[in-house]
Amino acid sequence: MYGLNNTEYTKQKLQSRKQDLKTLINEVTSEIAKADSTKTTIEKIISNKEKNSSSLMLDITGINSQMISLHEKLLGYQEDLRFTDGVIVLQSFTALKTPVSFSWEVLALLGMILGLAIAYIYTLFSHVNERLRQSRIPPAKP
């Protein structure tokens, strides 16, 4: 894993990914601040603590759900940044207790099949070779 994580391409890709995540975190944080200030302004207007001369038109029912969604995004980006790695292991490595090998019965069967195949090919070539020799020799004249 050390060799895979320390290639130049992986380092650049990892650095780029981390920079993108930091940018996203900053953007989401600023959006949370904007939504929070909007929510504070709305609360002041509703409770008549602040008299606002400008009219404000927005859907206040979605502000809380928008804040929750922004916080979820922020937490997701922060977690991605914290656990960003160059190589992702999808399945852990398991060491085998016994080495993988064929049993002697399987090896004997494979050896017998291979031996029969070689014998068949040798017999076929010798038979074809004998036929070719016979076809080249002209018949003897009486």
Q: Which residue has the tokens 């494979």?
A: 110
**3-state SS string for 45-112:** HHCCCCCCCCCCCCCHHHHHHHHHHHHHHHHHHHHHHHCCCCCCCCCCCCCCCCCCCCCHHHHHHHHH
Overall pTM surpassing 0.75 (yes/no): no
pLDDT tens over the chain, length 142 residues: 555 656 777 778 888 888 988 999 999 999 999 888 888 887 887 777 666 656 666 667 788 888 889 899 999 888 888 877 665 555 666 777 777 777 889 899 999 999 999 999 999 999 999 999 888 877 666 6
pLDDT of residue 117: 98
- What separation in angstroms does the CA of 132 have from each of 32, 80, 120? 91, 75, 18
